[in-house]
Amino acid sequence: MIDRPVPLKRIHEVFKAHPIAAVLGPRQCGKTTLAGMFREGEPRTFFDLENPVDVQRLAAPMTALQRLSGLVVIDEIGSMELLSEKFIAAVLKCLGGEARVAQREWLPI
């Protein structure tokens, strides 16, 4: 596995300021591997949107996310339209934040 200290540091910085981060890049560049390296050894839940079971679970985001703890990784997020204001608002509400999205900010990692 390739050591990636710079992208991992950037993800840590993003999470200091924001409860949600997106790791964006072309296919097969290591986004999922990078997510797996972040906070390694801590509790985490992975959702894979190429898995129909995970897609169905996230169709009701409040139900799927509200009891989870630790890092939540939603892999292949670009394959669905889950980045809607409604979905992000549900995620923020589960995190204890406001149930609305004031600003969407994409930060390069």
Q: CA-to-CA distance for 74 and 10, rounded, in angstroms?
A: 18
Of 90, 96, 58, residue with least CA distance to 77? 58
Mean pLDDT, contiguous 10-residue spans, the chain (109 residues): 84 82 81 84 86 90 85 78 70 64 41
Task: Reduce the DSSP state of residue 32 to 3 states and report it.
Answer: helix
Task: Enter the pTM of the model.
Answer: 0.71
Per-residue pLDDT, 90: 77
- Please count the other Cβ atoms lying within 10 Å of the Cβ belonging to residue 94: 19
> Would you list the domain boundaries of the chain?
5-35+42-94
Of 6, 25, 4, residue with least CA distance to 14? 6
